[in-house]
Amino acid sequence: MEGIYKISKDNKPVYVGQSRNMFRRWMDHERGKYPSPEYKYEVLEECSENLSKREQYWISEYNLIEEGDNKKEPDPMYSYVLRQKKLRIRNLKRLDRLYSTFKGKACPCGQNEPEVLQYYPHHQQIKSAVMRHGKDSKEVKLAGGLAALSRVVCANCFARLWDAKFRKEDIPFYLKP
Ligand SMILES: [Zn+2]
């Protein structure tokens, strides 16, 4: 049976739920938080459409968010924004972790701002491993190995080295390995 049901204790409603198969759902509840005969089960209405709307109607009818066990539905937009915010914070932390590995290091040209330093020539691999996994993963350990095989240079010098490699030009004196 599809529809909305109510669970009460001592004639006081404690929970309203919806289900496409109410009796099976009740068996789950009975084994869990609401054992019978302490808790009583009732069909409030049979319906097969707008289940969530009808459920919300009965939840507010019995004031079960305030006085019962029903929880406020999270606003989907709010949870989206929250998730994005968490992701942004996580990514910033991971970037910080990467920058912190440049502490005390400098490019041969003198640049030592961690935010513009990079690992030549493996920076992309190292950065994407850190951004995807944070710390403590096989990929990140591998990235650590690549970092040991790299030279720390600034973004400008990285580009010059990269260019020189493909044009087979002589690289600037101060960047010679
Ligand atoms: Zn430089």
Distance CA 111, CA 108 (A): 7
Residue 58 Cα to ligand 1 midpoint, Å, equals 67
Low-confidence ranges of the chain (pLDDT < 50): none
Contact 93, 87 (CB under 8 A): no
In a domain, 91, yes or no: no
User: In terms of domains, do 116 and 67 share one?
Assistant: no
3-state secondary structure of 131: helix
Residue 141 Cα to ligand 1 midpoint, Å, equals 26
**What is the CATH classification number for the domain harbouring 42?**
3.40.1440.10
Element (H, E) at 120: strand 117-120
Distance CA 169, CA 50 (A): 70
In a domain, 123, yes or no: yes
Domain boundary among 28, 43, 76: 76
Q: What is the DSSP string of 55-111?
A: HHHHHHHTTHHHHSS--PPPPHHHHHHHHHHHHHHHHHHHHHHHHHTTTT---TTS-
**What was the pLDDT predicted at 172?**
73
**What was the pLDDT predicted at 35?**
96
**What was the pLDDT predicted at 177?**
62
In a domain, 86, yes or no: no
The strand order across the sheet containing 3-9 reads 12-19, 3-9, 39-46
Tell me the C-alpha to C-alpha distance, in Å, between residue 112 and each of 99, 104, 120. 11, 8, 15
Residue 175 Cα to ligand 1 midpoint, Å, equals 8
Distance CA 114, CA 108 (A): 14
Contact 18, 4 (CB under 8 A): yes
The closest of 2, 49, 4, 34 to 21, measured between CA atoms, is 2
Residue 162 Cα to ligand 1 midpoint, Å, equals 13
User: What is the number of domains present in the chain?
Assistant: 2
Domain span holding position 143: 97-175
Residue 144 Cα to ligand 1 midpoint, Å, equals 21
Q: How many CB atoms lie within 10 A of CB 67?
A: 11
